[in-house]
Amino acid sequence: TFYFVGANDVAEEGTWRYESDGDLLGYTNWPPGAPDNADINGFNEHCLSYFPTLQSGAVWNDVICNYPSGYICQYGPKAPAFGGASCAGSDTALSACDNPACSDACSANPCLNDGTCTVINNTTRECACLVGYNRPDCEECSCWASDDCGGAICPIILAVFVVLIVVAVVIAGIVMCR
C-alpha cells in the first residue's frame, strides 16, 4: 500500500515541495531509479508516496496523483482526504491518518489475481474477477465449490467429461461396426 506524503513536483519537475505550504523537502529516501515520472495511461507521476517494502524498508516512490492511497500528513489536517476526513495528532510534526475515511475501500488493493476493485461508497467495495476466480476477493475457484467462477469449468471435471465423450464415441463405433 502506498501512502501519500503530501508533496509533489507539479510546479517544477524534480523539485519536490509540500502541498500545504510549498516548502522544499529537507529529506529524501528515493530507491535507485526513482523518481522516474513514468507515464501511466497519459498521467505522469507527480505525487510523493511512501511505500513500505520487505526488501528495502520504507522507500519513496512517485505515483500518479489520483492513485487511491492512504495519507501521511504534514502538520495539521491540510492533506486531502475522502469524505471530509482529517488527520489525527495535528499538534505533532508528522501524523498518520487514522480515520477510515482517509482512504477509500479499494486503497488496500483487496482484489487478488488481477481483479478490479470498484468503490460502491466510501466504506464498501466490490471486486470484478477474471474467469476462474470467485468473489468476494477473486480467490482461485475450487472444483467442488458452488461459487460462481465466472463461467470457468474445473479442469478435472472437464477431463472426465472429455474421457466420457471419447468412451461414448468408441462404443458407438463398435456398435456400428457389428
* Cα 52 from chain centre: 14
Of 15, 81, 79, 82, nearest to 46 by C-alpha is 15
The model's pLDDT over 65-109, given as tens digits with 9 standing for 90+, comes to 877 777 775 444 344 444 444 445 443 333 344 444 445 667 767
Confidence (pTM): 0.41
Average pLDDT, the chain: 71
pLDDT band at 156 (very low <50, low <70, confident <90, very high): low
The number of C-alpha atoms within 13 Å of 138 and in the hemisphere containing its C-beta is 17
Cell numbers 465466472 label which residue?
Answer: 150
- The CA distance from 84 to 72, in Å, is 15
Interatomic CA distance for residues 178 and 123, integer angstroms:
69
- Going along the chain from its start, the domains and CATH numbers come out as 3-102 (3.10.100)
